[in-house]
Amino acid sequence: MSEEQVVRHIHENKENRPDSITIGTPSKGGEVKVYFNAARPEEINALIDAAFTARAYAATKQVLP
């Protein structure tokens, strides 16, 4: 994916999901920011669940000293 494609993809998602919620804190297990469209409440739960799944997976990849 070229840089132009990445920028366009991010921009398109921002237009499709203009609302956001931040859950958690960086120092206590991590922060999750979920972008969604409040006009489509049926998608919100799935997006939040996917974000927490991604955070849990990322935590398994963290290398501790």
The verdict on residue 25 lying in a domain is: yes
Structure tokens at 61: 């990849």
Give the whole-angstrom CA distance, residue 58 versus residue 44: 21
The verdict on residue 54 lying in a domain is: yes
The verdict on residue 65 lying in a domain is: no
Above 70 in pLDDT, residue 54?
Answer: yes
The verdict on residue 47 lying in a domain is: yes
The whole-number pLDDT of residue 53 equals 92
DSSP-derived letter for residue 63 is: P
Number of domains in the chain: 1
**Spatial CB neighbours of 29, under 8 Å, sequence gap ≥ 6:** 59
Three-state SS at 53: helix
**Global model pTM greater than 0.95:** no
The verdict on residue 45 lying in a domain is: yes
Structural domain including 34 reads: 3-60
* pLDDT tens digit sequence for 6-15: 555 555 566 7
Of 44 and 25, the one with more pLDDT: 44
* pLDDT tens digit sequence for 41-50: 889 999 999 9
The mean pLDDT value for 27-54 works out to 88
